[in-house]
Chains A and B, each alone.
Chain A
Amino acid sequence: TQTVSQSDAHVTVFEGDSVELRCNYSYGGSIYLSWYIQHHGHGLQFLLKYYSGNPVVQGVNGFEAEFSKSDSSFHLRKASVHWSDSAVYFCALYMGYKLTFGTGTSLLVDP
């Protein structure tokens, strides 16, 4: 059973386009979700998190994500992407101490 699912392995957009990266989860406990970004050859860096409260959370560099309990989703969005946003994006679910990742979505922004 896949706990965190990222349905798109690759997404390509043009600079200035908007983008949505999809994440769905399956978990019966308290929900704590995050998005991380990984540039080529580097470790993962935190973008944003949702734990409770406002379902739309703001992150760094203009990224935001929206939590939906009814859809079991936590999709990441950006209104206008820059070529430097090209990276792999991971959705992650905290299950107590354990942090489980999706398989990642590679975003390519064409200049």
Chain B
Amino acid sequence: DMKVTQMPRYLIKRMGENVLLECGQDMSHETMYWYRQDPGLGLQLIYISYDVDSNSEGDIPKGYRVSRKKREHFSLILDSAKTNQTSVYFCASRQGNTEVFFGKGTRLTVV
């Protein structure tokens, strides 16, 4: 079963705390993505990973960093979370020119 799994699904953090969002895929896809989704803005690309330890900034990387030590895992880290990072975060994966598979999202609230 082809799947992208995100953990946790819901998270509440205080401003200034560190946040770790995890993503896994079981399709051995090389390319993985982190997006955030906000009302009226659609999906905005935070980071792209081309493979293990090969990552590139997307359109809105400020305040985020990523880690990809295994092909099947791609983590998004927020060091010292801010209230404007409250959002729904989506992880996705893709192999070559195939369709992109999305996880169900993590709803992060920073208070």
In the assembled complex, A83 has its CB within 8 A of some CB on chain B: no
- Classify chain B: how many residues form its interface, as a range: 20 to 34
The complex places the Cα of A96 from the Cα of B110 at a distance, in Å, of 33
Name the segment of A12-20, A61-69, A71-79, A100-108 touching the other chain: A100-108
How many Å lie between the Cα of A107 and that of B58 in the bound state?
29
List B residues 33-71 near A (Cβ within 8 Å): 33, 35, 40-43, 45, 48, 50, 56, 58
Q: A51 with B45: in contact, given A43-B104, A97-B31 (CB under 8 Å)?
A: no
CA distance A45 to B101 in the complex (A): 7
Q: Is the interface of A mostly helix, strand, loop or mixed?
A: strand
Q: Choose one: B40, B42, B94, B99; the contact of A90 (CB below 8 Å).
A: B42
Judge whether B42 and A44 touch: CB under 8 Å.
Answer: no
Query: Chain A: residues with CB nearer than 8 A to chain B?
Result: 9, 32, 34, 36, 42-46, 49, 51, 90, 92, 94, 97-104
Residues of B within 8 A of A32 (CB): 97
CB<8 Å pairs between A and B, sample of 7: A43-B102, A90-B42, A92-B100, A98-B48, A99-B92, A102-B42, A103-B40
Contact with A along B77-102 (1 / 0, CB 8 A): 00000000000001010100101111
Task: Write out the residue numbers on chain A whose beta carbons fall within 8 Å of the beta carbon of B43.
Answer: 44, 90, 101
Complex contact B31–A103 (CB within 8 A): no
